[in-house]
Structure 1
Amino acid sequence: MRNISRGKIIALSIVLIVLLAPFVYVQGNKIVYAERVKSYLIHEKSYKEEELASVKGVWGMKLPSFYTVVVFKDEPGVDYVYFSHNDVLQFDQRITPKGVEMGTMPEKLKHTEKRKEG
Protein backbone atom coordinates (compact mmCIF):
# COMPACT_ATOMS: atom_id res chain seq x y z
CA MET A 1 0.00 0.00 0.00
CA ARG A 2 1.24 3.47 -0.86
CA ASN A 3 2.13 5.93 1.77
CA ILE A 4 -0.22 8.95 1.54
CA SER A 5 1.22 12.17 2.90
CA ARG A 6 -0.48 14.05 5.69
CA GLY A 7 -0.94 17.06 3.39
CA LYS A 8 -2.87 15.00 0.84
CA ILE A 9 -5.14 13.62 3.54
CA ILE A 10 -5.88 17.14 4.79
CA ALA A 11 -6.51 18.39 1.25
CA LEU A 12 -8.84 15.48 0.48
CA SER A 13 -10.68 16.06 3.77
CA ILE A 14 -11.21 19.74 2.93
CA VAL A 15 -12.49 18.88 -0.55
CA LEU A 16 -14.86 16.30 0.91
CA ILE A 17 -16.20 18.78 3.47
CA VAL A 18 -16.71 21.45 0.80
CA LEU A 19 -18.57 18.99 -1.42
CA LEU A 20 -20.77 17.61 1.37
CA ALA A 21 -21.58 20.88 3.16
CA PRO A 22 -24.40 22.00 0.80
CA PHE A 23 -26.03 18.56 0.95
CA VAL A 24 -25.86 18.49 4.76
CA TYR A 25 -27.20 22.07 4.94
CA VAL A 26 -30.21 21.30 2.71
CA GLN A 27 -31.07 17.97 4.35
CA GLY A 28 -30.67 19.42 7.83
CA ASN A 29 -32.94 22.39 7.08
CA LYS A 30 -35.60 20.15 5.56
CA ILE A 31 -35.67 18.15 8.79
CA VAL A 32 -35.70 21.27 10.99
CA TYR A 33 -38.57 22.90 9.09
CA ALA A 34 -40.63 19.70 9.03
CA GLU A 35 -40.15 19.25 12.79
CA ARG A 36 -41.19 22.87 13.46
CA VAL A 37 -44.42 22.38 11.53
CA LYS A 38 -45.13 18.99 13.09
CA SER A 39 -44.61 20.42 16.59
CA TYR A 40 -46.88 23.37 15.74
CA LEU A 41 -49.66 21.09 14.49
CA ILE A 42 -49.47 18.83 17.54
CA HIS A 43 -48.87 21.36 20.31
CA GLU A 44 -50.65 24.48 19.05
CA LYS A 45 -53.34 23.11 16.75
CA SER A 46 -54.04 19.98 18.85
CA TYR A 47 -53.69 17.43 16.07
CA LYS A 48 -52.67 13.94 17.05
CA GLU A 49 -49.63 12.48 15.33
CA GLU A 50 -51.85 9.66 14.01
CA GLU A 51 -53.85 12.25 12.02
CA LEU A 52 -50.82 13.22 9.96
CA ALA A 53 -50.10 11.07 6.91
CA SER A 54 -46.85 12.91 6.16
CA VAL A 55 -44.88 16.01 7.09
CA LYS A 56 -42.05 16.63 4.64
CA GLY A 57 -39.52 19.42 4.47
CA VAL A 58 -38.95 20.65 0.93
CA TRP A 59 -36.16 22.64 -0.65
CA GLY A 60 -37.48 24.69 -3.55
CA MET A 61 -35.78 26.85 -6.11
CA LYS A 62 -38.03 29.86 -5.42
CA LEU A 63 -38.13 31.95 -2.29
CA PRO A 64 -38.56 30.95 0.40
CA SER A 65 -36.12 28.14 -0.20
CA PHE A 66 -37.53 25.87 2.50
CA TYR A 67 -41.14 24.98 3.24
CA THR A 68 -43.09 22.00 4.54
CA VAL A 69 -45.82 19.96 2.87
CA VAL A 70 -48.34 18.27 5.16
CA VAL A 71 -50.84 15.59 4.15
CA PHE A 72 -53.56 14.64 6.61
CA LYS A 73 -54.83 11.05 6.72
CA ASP A 74 -58.46 12.10 6.35
CA GLU A 75 -57.67 14.21 3.27
CA PRO A 76 -55.03 12.36 1.24
CA GLY A 77 -55.64 14.34 -1.93
CA VAL A 78 -54.52 17.70 -0.55
CA ASP A 79 -51.05 19.09 0.13
CA TYR A 80 -51.04 21.81 2.78
CA VAL A 81 -48.00 24.09 2.46
CA TYR A 82 -46.50 25.69 5.58
CA PHE A 83 -43.72 28.22 6.05
CA SER A 84 -41.86 28.13 9.35
CA HIS A 85 -39.02 30.61 9.05
CA ASN A 86 -40.19 32.67 12.02
CA ASP A 87 -43.73 31.78 13.00
CA VAL A 88 -45.41 28.75 11.47
CA LEU A 89 -48.03 29.74 8.94
CA GLN A 90 -50.11 27.81 6.48
CA PHE A 91 -49.40 29.41 3.14
CA ASP A 92 -51.29 27.36 0.57
CA GLN A 93 -53.37 24.28 -0.12
CA ARG A 94 -52.92 22.26 -3.29
CA ILE A 95 -55.40 19.67 -4.48
CA THR A 96 -53.37 16.84 -6.02
CA PRO A 97 -54.43 14.88 -9.12
CA LYS A 98 -55.55 12.14 -6.70
CA GLY A 99 -57.68 14.74 -4.89
CA VAL A 100 -59.24 15.87 -8.16
CA GLU A 101 -60.11 12.25 -8.96
CA MET A 102 -61.67 11.92 -5.50
CA GLY A 103 -63.81 15.02 -6.14
CA THR A 104 -62.10 17.24 -3.56
CA MET A 105 -63.39 20.80 -3.80
CA PRO A 106 -61.41 23.86 -2.61
CA GLU A 107 -64.32 25.20 -0.55
CA LYS A 108 -64.63 21.88 1.33
CA LEU A 109 -61.02 21.53 2.54
CA LYS A 110 -60.92 20.34 6.15
CA HIS A 111 -57.63 21.75 7.42
CA THR A 112 -57.46 25.25 5.95
CA GLU A 113 -56.28 27.80 8.50
CA LYS A 114 -57.65 31.32 8.43
CA ARG A 115 -54.98 33.97 8.07
CA LYS A 116 -54.90 36.83 10.53
CA GLU A 117 -55.15 40.17 8.79
CA GLY A 118 -53.34 43.03 10.25
Structure 2
Amino acid sequence: MTAPTMTVSELQARVDRGVVWLDEHIPDWWRTDRPSQGFDQGGAIDLGELRMKDPCWCVLGQLIGNYYRTEIPLDEAVAFGFDVESCTRPEMADEFDALTELWTRVIEQRRAEVTGRG
Protein backbone atom coordinates (compact mmCIF):
# COMPACT_ATOMS: atom_id res chain seq x y z
CA MET A 1 0.00 0.00 0.00
CA THR A 2 1.41 3.38 -0.94
CA ALA A 3 1.34 6.44 1.29
CA PRO A 4 -1.18 9.21 0.65
CA THR A 5 0.08 11.83 -1.78
CA MET A 6 -0.51 14.50 0.86
CA THR A 7 0.73 14.65 4.43
CA VAL A 8 -1.67 14.07 7.29
CA SER A 9 -1.37 17.74 8.27
CA GLU A 10 -2.28 18.80 4.72
CA LEU A 11 -5.25 16.46 4.75
CA GLN A 12 -6.27 17.71 8.20
CA ALA A 13 -6.18 21.31 6.93
CA ARG A 14 -8.55 20.29 4.14
CA VAL A 15 -10.90 18.58 6.59
CA ASP A 16 -10.79 21.65 8.84
CA ARG A 17 -11.92 23.79 5.89
CA GLY A 18 -14.68 21.29 5.21
CA VAL A 19 -15.84 21.51 8.82
CA VAL A 20 -16.13 25.29 8.49
CA TRP A 21 -18.10 24.87 5.26
CA LEU A 22 -20.45 22.33 6.85
CA ASP A 23 -20.96 24.46 9.96
CA GLU A 24 -21.98 27.31 7.69
CA HIS A 25 -24.19 25.37 5.27
CA ILE A 26 -25.53 22.37 7.24
CA PRO A 27 -25.82 23.31 10.93
CA ASP A 28 -25.44 20.41 13.37
CA TRP A 29 -24.23 18.22 10.51
CA TRP A 30 -22.32 15.94 12.92
CA ARG A 31 -25.19 15.11 15.26
CA THR A 32 -26.52 11.58 15.60
CA ASP A 33 -30.10 12.83 15.99
CA ARG A 34 -30.31 14.50 12.58
CA PRO A 35 -33.65 13.38 11.16
CA SER A 36 -33.57 11.06 8.20
CA GLN A 37 -34.83 12.67 5.04
CA GLY A 38 -35.90 9.31 3.63
CA PHE A 39 -34.27 6.82 1.29
CA ASP A 40 -31.35 8.36 -0.59
CA GLN A 41 -32.12 11.77 0.92
CA GLY A 42 -29.63 11.89 3.77
CA GLY A 43 -29.71 12.22 7.52
CA ALA A 44 -27.21 11.50 10.29
CA ILE A 45 -23.68 10.31 9.55
CA ASP A 46 -23.19 6.64 10.42
CA LEU A 47 -19.51 6.35 11.34
CA GLY A 48 -19.65 2.58 10.90
CA GLU A 49 -20.47 3.14 7.24
CA LEU A 50 -18.35 6.26 6.59
CA ARG A 51 -16.26 5.75 3.45
CA MET A 52 -14.97 8.91 1.82
CA LYS A 53 -14.37 7.13 -1.49
CA ASP A 54 -18.05 6.23 -1.84
CA PRO A 55 -20.36 9.05 -3.02
CA CYS A 56 -23.28 7.68 -1.01
CA TRP A 57 -21.35 6.85 2.18
CA CYS A 58 -18.99 9.84 2.41
CA VAL A 59 -19.75 12.79 4.69
CA LEU A 60 -21.78 14.68 2.09
CA GLY A 61 -23.38 11.53 0.73
CA GLN A 62 -24.73 10.57 4.13
CA LEU A 63 -25.87 14.11 4.90
CA ILE A 64 -27.70 14.78 1.65
CA GLY A 65 -28.11 11.34 0.11
CA ASN A 66 -25.41 11.48 -2.56
CA TYR A 67 -22.21 13.49 -3.02
CA TYR A 68 -23.21 14.29 -6.60
CA ARG A 69 -26.24 16.26 -5.39
CA THR A 70 -23.97 19.00 -4.09
CA GLU A 71 -23.18 22.02 -6.18
CA ILE A 72 -19.61 22.11 -4.90
CA PRO A 73 -17.10 22.11 -7.79
CA LEU A 74 -14.44 19.38 -7.63
CA ASP A 75 -11.63 21.81 -6.75
CA GLU A 76 -13.62 23.06 -3.75
CA ALA A 77 -14.60 19.52 -2.73
CA VAL A 78 -10.92 18.60 -2.73
CA ALA A 79 -9.99 21.77 -0.79
CA PHE A 80 -12.67 20.95 1.81
CA GLY A 81 -11.55 17.34 2.29
CA PHE A 82 -14.69 15.88 0.71
CA ASP A 83 -12.88 14.39 -2.29
CA VAL A 84 -9.44 13.77 -3.78
CA GLU A 85 -7.96 15.23 -6.95
CA SER A 86 -7.97 12.12 -9.11
CA CYS A 87 -10.03 9.11 -8.14
CA THR A 88 -8.48 7.13 -10.98
CA ARG A 89 -4.93 6.96 -9.56
CA PRO A 90 -4.40 3.86 -7.37
CA GLU A 91 -2.57 5.78 -4.64
CA MET A 92 -5.70 7.86 -4.07
CA ALA A 93 -7.28 4.93 -2.20
CA ASP A 94 -4.88 5.65 0.66
CA GLU A 95 -5.79 9.32 0.60
CA PHE A 96 -9.49 8.43 0.82
CA ASP A 97 -8.73 6.10 3.75
CA ALA A 98 -6.82 8.88 5.52
CA LEU A 99 -9.68 11.32 4.93
CA THR A 100 -12.14 8.77 6.34
CA GLU A 101 -10.04 8.50 9.52
CA LEU A 102 -9.71 12.28 9.88
CA TRP A 103 -13.42 12.92 9.36
CA THR A 104 -14.24 10.15 11.84
CA ARG A 105 -12.07 11.83 14.49
CA VAL A 106 -13.68 15.23 13.93
CA ILE A 107 -17.19 13.81 14.13
CA GLU A 108 -16.39 11.74 17.23
CA GLN A 109 -14.88 14.81 18.89
CA ARG A 110 -17.93 16.96 18.11
CA ARG A 111 -20.27 14.28 19.41
CA ALA A 112 -18.19 13.79 22.58
CA GLU A 113 -18.23 17.52 23.32
CA VAL A 114 -22.03 17.54 23.28
CA THR A 115 -22.36 14.48 25.49
CA GLY A 116 -19.70 15.74 27.88
CA ARG A 117 -17.35 12.86 27.16
CA GLY A 118 -14.76 14.95 25.34
- In proportion to residue count, which structure has more helix? 2
Would you call these one fold, judging by a TM-score over 0.5?
no
Q: Give the alignment's TM-score, normalised by structure 1.
A: 0.29
Larger radius of gyration: 1
Q: Give the alignment's TM-score, normalised by structure 2.
A: 0.29
- In proportion to residue count, which structure has more strand? 1
Structure with higher RCO (Cα < 8 A, 6+ apart): 2
